[in-house]
């Protein structure tokens, strides 16, 4: 499958010359329609209520120098349009791009007759562009993409340089198929299946919304086909990745910061400040209480958490005597603790099994900094269970082993 065939959603074109004879934008629209892609055409930047429905679009073509119908009518007949944009026009473009960024992750092609460096600096000043780094926004002359397939060749070049986009499109296509399959199957069983499950969750005293969402998520996962990604694209050597970037990525993979204040979950992490002789210090508390026990009380403030106390691990002790070995990508932990890298700005946190605290959520809710995700929290729960049921054994005399 060609990379551009992954983009099977809707294309959006915003250009005031749409439909005008000999306008270059018509060639680009023809390239899109020749791929049998649906195409939404706008002669001016759409309202926010329309932008809100752009989630899932494949790509956007935007004319940087859009002249609205109202603007055209205000110009005397025969007068040449000025080469500069008003501040309000530039702000409208920037506002549109920011709203679009919140709704979808898709390439945006900006066409301009301006100096491209000027447009680039404007985008950079507004946090929409990074020089010398991959970007999802491309600034072009329309002539650069005129032809039979030049637009899609440009998209393919971008996907080759941006593996996250390639992975997103593969995942999105599999997700869509799984979602369709799941809801058809459940509908054929009983069209009112959500009400049946809702009643069951309610009678069990659980958070009905959370449980229903979990059922859907788990069933979607099991119906998604095994992924088949292209090693030639993902495995090729790129520029050297900095240590901090790796740690940031690993933190994002296992720890989420933005938590809905109305939910409570196994894996919630709290950070509590305290004072000692050395000044201000912090302790961490990791909730390991099973999820089913956390949803029994509708008043979250009264829910008791089973928290393991944690501390920042001194990385100078890695592979040192009386420290913690790090071998083949894993910390070799003892039975009485668990080490989790990286959370809370890439810190390595050590949670001590001997230090279990029972605390009400009310006392900690303003201290929550995020949530540790499976399989990491699941592993800690399992290892803590082994710690509680451990059986001490007599020491083996060293003379029995050493020669």
* Torsion angle (degrees, nearest 10) of CA 347, 348, 349, 352: -160
Helix (H, G, I), strand (E, B) or coil at 286: strand
**What mean pLDDT comes out for the span 256-283?**
86
**Range in 123-137, 225-239, 259-273 the model is least confident about:** 225-239
Cα separation, 139 vs 248, whole angstroms? 29
User: pLDDT grade, residue 294 (50/70/90)?
Assistant: confident
User: pLDDT grade, residue 362 (50/70/90)?
Assistant: very high
pLDDT at 151 over 80: yes
Cα separation, 14 vs 41, whole angstroms? 6
- What are 364's two structure tokens? 């900690």
> Please, what is the average pLDDT of the chain?
87
Q: Which helix (H) or strand (E) holds 323?
A: none
Give the distance, in angstroms, between the CA of residue 63 and the centroid of all CA atoms in the same chain. Answer: 29
Q: pLDDT tens, 157-183?
A: 888 878 888 888 888 888 889 999 999
Q: Specify the pLDDT at position 84.
A: 61
Q: Parallel, antiparallel, or unpaired: how do β-strands 108-111 and 137-140 relate? A: parallel
DSSP assignment of 80-137, as one string? PPPSSPPHHHHHHHHHHHHHHHHH----EEEE-SS-HHHHHHHHHHTTS--TTS--SE
Q: What domains lie within the chain, and their CATH numbers?
A: 3-161 (3.40.50.2300), 165-234 (no CATH), 257-388 (2.30.30)
Q: Specify the pLDDT at position 340.
A: 94
Q: Is residue 230 a contact partner of residue 334, using CB atoms and an 8 Å limit?
A: no
Number of other CB atoms surrounding residue 338 within 10 Å = 25
DSSP assignment of 292-357, as one string? HHHTS-S-GGG-EEEEEEEEE--GGGBTSTTSB-EETTEE---TTEEEEEEETTTEEEEEEEEEEE
Q: What is the pTM of this model?
A: 0.71
Integer CA distances (angstroms), 372 to 212, 267, 307, in order: 21, 5, 13
Cα separation, 361 vs 355, whole angstroms? 18
pLDDT at 312 over 70: yes
pLDDT at 117 over 80: yes
Helix (H, G, I), strand (E, B) or coil at 31: helix
User: pLDDT grade, residue 1 (50/70/90)?
Assistant: very low
- What are 16's two structure tokens? 């005031």
Helix (H, G, I), strand (E, B) or coil at 400: helix
Q: pLDDT tens, 170-221?
A: 888 888 899 999 999 999 999 999 999 999 888 877 778 888 988 999 899 8
Q: Specify the pLDDT at position 79.
A: 47
Q: Specify the pLDDT at position 216.
A: 93
Q: pLDDT tens, 41-57?
A: 999 999 999 999 998 88
Q: Which residues touch 324 (CB under 8 Å, ≥6 apart)?
A: 313, 317, 318, 331, 332, 333, 339
Q: Specify the pLDDT at position 358.
A: 95
**What mean pLDDT comes out for the span 378-400?**
89
Q: pLDDT tens, 55-107?
A: 888 889 999 988 766 655 555 555 444 556 678 889 999 999 999 999 888 88
């Amino acid at each position: 499958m060609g990379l551009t065939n992954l983009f099977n959603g809707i294309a959006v074109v915003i250009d005031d010359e749409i439909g005008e004879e000999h306008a270059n934008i018509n060639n680009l629209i023809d390239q899109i329609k020749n791929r049998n892609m649906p195409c939404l055409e706008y002669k001016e930047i759409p309202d926010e209520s329309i932008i809100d429905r752009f989630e899932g679009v494949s790509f956007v073509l935007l004319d940087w120098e859009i002249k609205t119908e109202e603007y055209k009518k205000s110009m005397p007949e025969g007068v040449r349009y000025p080469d500069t944009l008003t501040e309000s026009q530039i702000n409208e473009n920037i506002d549109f791009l920011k709203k679009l960024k919140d709704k979808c992750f898709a390439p945006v092609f900006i066409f301009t007759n301006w100096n491209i460096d000027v447009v680039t600096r404007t985008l950079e000043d507004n946090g929409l562009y990074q020089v010398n780094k991959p970007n999802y926004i491309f600034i072009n002359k329309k002539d650069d993409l005129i032809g039979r397939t030049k637009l899609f060749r440009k998209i393919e070049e971008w996907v080759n340089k941006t593996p996250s986009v390639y992975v997103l499109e593969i995942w999105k296509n599999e997700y869509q198929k799984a979602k369709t399959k799941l809801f058809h199957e459940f509908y054929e069983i009983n069209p009112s299946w959500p009400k049946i499950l809702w009643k069951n969750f309610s009678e069990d005293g659980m958070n009905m919304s959370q449980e229903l969402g979990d059922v859907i998520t788990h069933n979607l996962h099991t119906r998604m086909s095994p992924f088949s990604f292209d090693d030639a694209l993902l495995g090729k050597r790129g520029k050297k990745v900095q240590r901090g970037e790796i740690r940031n990525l690993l933190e994002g993979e296992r720890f989420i910061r933005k938590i809905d204040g109305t939910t409570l979950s196994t894996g919630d992490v709290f950070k509590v400040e305290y004072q000692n002789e050395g000044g201000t210090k912090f302790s961490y508390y990791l909730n390991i209480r099973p999820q089913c026990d956390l949803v029994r009380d509708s008043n979250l403030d009264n829910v008791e958490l089973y928290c393991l106390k944690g501390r920042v691990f001194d990385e100078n002790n890695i592979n040192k005597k009386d420290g913690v070995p790090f071998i083949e990508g894993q910390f070799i932990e003892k039975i009485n603790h668990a080490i989790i890298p990286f959370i809370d700005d890439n810190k390595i946190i050590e949670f001590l099994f001997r230090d279990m605290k029972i605390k009400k959520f009310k006392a900690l809710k303003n201290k929550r900094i995020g949530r540790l995700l499976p399989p990491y929290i699941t592993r800690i729960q399992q290892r803590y269970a082994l710690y509680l049921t451990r059986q001490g054994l007599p020491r083996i005399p060293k003379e029995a082993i050493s020669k």
